[in-house]
Structure 1
């Protein structure tokens, strides 16, 4: 790797560490440059806009999420089990890397033409994650004799399920679901078990319950 490429990757690495430790609001150009040990104007040599750097940082998040989802489905025996594994990996990543997760779904980065400047657009990293869910929903439908709202396109069902999972992650991270359900540490299930129940309920709502 040449020195130019090394410094570009160094700026992204610093941004990734910063967003994971201090949140997306911490990602100023000057702070990233300071932590990378370069002048405050150096990032402009590699990223024409602040958005271009933020998009490159967020792409790392989608790469990490994609790897976690791929690993999660490796041992899952059926499309339904794979979808449940992807859902668990998705929510798990959201809770583990909340700042990165927030950055990844900023609309101004996802749907940005003017900030692309020759860089790979962020939506080109995000859409494959959604397409993975659509494909699994379609496979689940194919294995079910009677799925609820089977006339609804798989993409629409996948979008509703995705919104459901995203909402679970968002509300759980803030303690809202725990407050609403009255979940206490002394309850009969661990946090992971309660989250798994929520995921199973979301799948049942959008795909129908698993046949006995």
Structure 2
């Protein structure tokens, strides 16, 4: 017998969590905030209003899952950009551009990932969220480490603190650019080449002379 037109879709065991995260992520993208209720997410997902509690004891847990998915998506975009680059300098430019593109394409999700809605500081993030954030940051650290090892970036080899500072400078560069553009504070319009041009200025500052 065919399903009734308005019947809620049936999900296989283990699929409900993904469906709920996707539904909540879509709401965040549409509303540009995360003021939704779990009941609204359940309605969007086509499940009972109690269903979200099977996977998420509270709304904060669901927000964490949205952030985790965001960091996973960001990491994938940065990895793809790095792998398509011909040299380490271009890899740094490419992952920076991918980072900025992700932030501009996902404004509310980006603010959730890097704001204080989940924790007062990065160190205080719930473990799964912090682990996902570290995974995306590891792409940048890997590029910086390779550039230092190749003698391209100006930092002592085998100096983890120096590498972390170079990575911090690169991160501040793209993170600041994303927020300036999202908040309408940039005096330069967000043309497609802007992230690359800003990245090349950074590159000029960290390359070994």
Relative to the length of structure 1, the TM-score reads: 0.79
Q: Give yes or no for contact 1:72–1:82 (8 Å, CA) kept in 2.
A: yes
Matched, 1:156 2:162: no
SS at match of 1:126: helix
Structure 2 residue runs of 5 or longer lacking an equivalent are 1-9
Corresponding residue of 1:201: 201
Q: 1:62 to 1:145 in 2, by over 3 A?
A: closer
Deviation at 1:8, TM superposition (A): 2.0
Matched, 1:57 2:66: yes
Q: 1:138 to 1:84 in 2, by over 3 A?
A: same
Corresponding residue of 1:125: 132
SS at match of 1:5: coil
Q: 1:96 to 1:144 in 2, by over 3 A?
A: same
Q: 1:80 to 1:27 in 2, by over 3 A?
A: farther
Corresponding residue of 2:25: 16
Q: Give yes or no for contact 1:134–1:155 (8 Å, CA) kept in 2.
A: yes
Please provide the CA RMSD for this pair. Answer: 2.6
**Alignment size in residue pairs:** 194
Deviation at 1:199, TM superposition (A): 1.7
Inter-partner Cα distance in structure 2 for 1:199 and 1:97: 20
Corresponding residue of 1:89: 98
SS at match of 2:103: helix
Inter-partner Cα distance in structure 2 for 1:5 and 1:145: 47
Structure 1 residue runs of 5 or longer lacking an equivalent are 114-119, 185-189
Structure ranking higher in helix proportion: 1
SS at match of 1:171: helix
Corresponding residue of 1:137: 144
Inter-partner Cα distance in structure 2 for 1:36 and 1:53: 14
Q: 1:162 to 1:4 in 2, by over 3 A?
A: same
Inter-partner Cα distance in structure 2 for 1:101 and 1:76: 25
Q: Give yes or no for contact 2:38–2:49 (8 Å, CA) kept in 1.
A: yes
Corresponding residue of 2:16: 7
